[in-house]
């Protein structure tokens, strides 16, 4: 998207491939069977004038274990107490939430996006998950759909522009935000300055279809007891939902990630403008 204003305020080093910091997965060990020695004693009889027959004993060294004798008060097989509890299952892997599946293939509307919908909350969850894990793919549902971008842009190859410029820059910006936020950060609030929202008419910024645009939303988070924030450079609409289109910066002069106006406290949303 070609803006009428640019408010890039911070640059980060070239994005590194972040590592997902996942919790340890407990893998239950395979159960083992204790082979109990089985002693079989033949019966004997004795009495006056008789000779006791010798006692024979057989101890098998292979084959399946036999069930141990039951102890008073316990069913068979529980001589040594109840069986151990099963190991807890491993924690679930993080995953993105759906925003508006398949919406990009549908026609645009002029509905003004709300920040109180499930779709918006899921979009913010996905963006935050991408930042905290350093994996941009988690934010794909919250990113402007490729199918919708093909309809919007009046350029020769919108699909290539989406993939090699928009998404590429977004991935770099997510890596930069991940380096900034680090670990043990908690999302607090997202401020969308809807007072700055404007409808971008067809023909502006190389567009063939209009959409709502809002600049400078703020992501507020808390880390080590301190309230911090950074911006989302541009959100635009498709069928009444907000999507991220430029994360750290609208324009940049090199292949590096950026974070929009990181600061202590809530920061200042905006300024207005852009497309």
Per-residue pLDDT of the chain (275 residues; tens, 9 = 90+): 444 333 333 333 333 333 333 333 333 333 333 333 333 333 333 444 444 444 444 434 444 555 555 555 545 554 566 778 888 888 888 999 999 999 999 999 999 999 999 999 999 999 999 999 999 999 999 999 999 999 999 999 999 999 999 999 999 999 999 999 998 999 999 999 999 999 999 999 999 999 999 999 999 999 999 999 999 999 999 999 999 999 999 998 889 999 999 999 999 999 999 99
Say if 169 falls within a structural domain: yes
Say if 44 falls within a structural domain: no
Say if 10 falls within a structural domain: no
What is the bridge-based pairing of β-strands 226-238 and 241-246? antiparallel
Query: Locate tokens 């808390």: which residue?
Result: 222
Say if 26 falls within a structural domain: no
CA distances from 228 to 18, 214, 216, 266 (A): 22, 21, 15, 6
As for how many domains the chain has, the answer is: 1
Say if 127 falls within a structural domain: yes
Say if 73 falls within a structural domain: no
Distance in angstroms (rounded) separating the CA atoms of residues 243 and 139 = 10
Residue 183's domain spans which residues? 109-264
Distance in angstroms (rounded) separating the CA atoms of residues 67 and 76 = 7
Say if 257 falls within a structural domain: yes
DSSP-derived 3-state class of residue 59: coil
Say if 159 falls within a structural domain: yes
Structure confidence by residue, pLDDT tens digits, 188-237: 999 999 999 999 999 999 999 999 999 999 999 999 999 999 999 999 99
Write the CB contacts of 195 (distance below 8 Å, at least 6 apart in sequence).
none
pLDDT at 75: 54
Write the CB contacts of 229 (distance below 8 Å, at least 6 apart in sequence).
218, 219, 220, 221, 262, 263, 264, 265, 266, 267
CA distances from 188 to 176, 191, 192, 273 (A): 20, 10, 14, 26
């Amino acid at each position: 998207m070609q803006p009428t204003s640019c408010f890039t305020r911070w640059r980060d080093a070239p994005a590194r491939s972040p590592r997902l910091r996942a919790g340890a997965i407990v893998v239950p060990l395979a159960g083992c069977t204790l082979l109990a020695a089985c002693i079989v004693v033949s019966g004997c009889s004795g009495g006056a004038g008789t000779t006791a027959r010798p006692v024979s004993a057989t101890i098998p060294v292979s084959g399946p274990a036999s069930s141990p004798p039951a102890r008073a008060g316990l069913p068979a097989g529980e001589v040594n107490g109840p069986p151990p509890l099963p190991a807890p299952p491993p924690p679930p892997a993080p995953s993105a939430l759906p925003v508006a599946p398949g919406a990009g293939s549908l026609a645009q509307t002029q509905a003004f996006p709300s920040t109180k919908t499930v779709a918006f909350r899921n979009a913010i969850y996905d963006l935050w998950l991408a930042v905290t894990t350093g994996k941009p793919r988690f934010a794909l549902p919250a990113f402007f759909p490729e199918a919708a971008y093909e309809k919007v842009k009046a350029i020769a190859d919108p699909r290539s522009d989406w993939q090699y410029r928009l998404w590429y820059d977004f991935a770099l910006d997510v890596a930069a935000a991940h380096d900034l936020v680090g670990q043990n950060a908690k999302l607090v609030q997202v401020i969308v300055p809807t007072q700055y929202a404007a409808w971008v008419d067809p023909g502006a910024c190389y567009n063939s279809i209009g959409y709502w645009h809002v600049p400078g939303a703020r992501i507020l988070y808390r880390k080590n007891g301190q309230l911090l924030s950074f911006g989302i450079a541009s959100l635009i609409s498709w069928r009444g939902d907000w999507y991220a289109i430029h994360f750290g910066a609208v324009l940049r002069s090199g292949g590096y990630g950026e974070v929009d106006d990181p600061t202590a406290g809530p920061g200042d949303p905006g300024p207005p403008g852009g497309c």
